[in-house]
Amino acid sequence: MRLILAVAIMAGLAAAAASANSPSPYAGEQDRPIKALSAQEIEDLQAGRGMGLAKAGELNSYPGPAHVLALKFELHLDAAQLVATQTLFDRMQTEAQQLGVAIIALEAQLDQAFATATIDRARLDDLTGQIGRLQGRLRAVHLEAHLAMKRLLTPQQVADYDQLRGYADGASKPAHDGHKH
């Protein structure tokens, strides 16, 4: 029994030592202009993309305007729905882009404050608080668009959307594999 316990302890220590010597998953990211954001994240924020922020709506039968526009023929949007959807998308994207640019700027300030060792607790709290509020607003902008989009569609169009996106029972895969929203 003691031998088994000793072997188990030694194996655990060996595994811990091996993981302590392996590179961090962050290795290589120290060269990013803004350490907390990848190039793709910066591009997505600048473009106003959803980045999965509206999954609570998307996966609960609240269609997103970008995907509704992509599926406009399959959903048989009438002229008024098409205009309203485009308007909703444009408004959402404009606000999301503005918020994204502001988030990037604050992340750059936070990164710079750490890089120059000029950060203190007050500045940390200020910057992370601002970033958090903007991130929350960005998510709300995308979710608000899903909320409004559902009101523009008929129940059948919503059901068809879910089927086309691969969310309905029996759906094998999404018909449109565009950006995450």
Q: How does residue 71 score in pLDDT terms, banded at 50, 70 and 90?
A: very high
The larger pLDDT score, comparing residue 79 to residue 18, is at 79
* DSSP assignment of 46-103: HHT--TTTTHHHHTTT---HHHHHHTTTTTT--HHHHHHHHHHHHHHHHHHHHHHHHH
Q: Read off φ and ψ for residue 23, nearest 5 degrees.
A: -65, 150
pTM: 0.80
**Looking at the predicted structure, is the pLDDT value of residue 177 above 50?**
no
Predicted confidence at residue 23, as pLDDT, reads 85
Q: How does residue 175 score in pLDDT terms, banded at 50, 70 and 90?
A: very low
State the chain's mean pLDDT as an integer: 88
Q: How does residue 168 score in pLDDT terms, banded at 50, 70 and 90?
A: confident
The position carrying tokens 């990013």 is 32
The position carrying tokens 């290589």 is 28
CA 32 to each of CA 17, 56, 109, 118: distance values in angstroms, whole numbers, following the listed order: 29, 31, 14, 19
Kindly state the percentage of the chain with pLDDT values over 90.
75
* DSSP assignment of 129-154: HHHHHHHHHHHHHHHHHHHHHHHHS-
Name all contacts of 115-121 with Cβ < 8 Å and 24+ positions apart: none
- Structural domain boundaries of the chain? 38-165
Nearest Cα to 78, choosing from 141, 22, 154?
154
Hey, how many other C-beta atoms are within 10 angstroms of the C-beta on 85?
Answer: 23
pLDDT digits 0-9 by tens, 88-126:
999 999 999 999 999 999 999 999 999 999 999 999 999
Average pLDDT of the segment spanning 23-49 = 92
CATH, range 38-165: 1.20.120
Nearest Cα to 34, choosing from 91, 120, 111?
111
The larger pLDDT score, comparing residue 8 to residue 173, is at 8
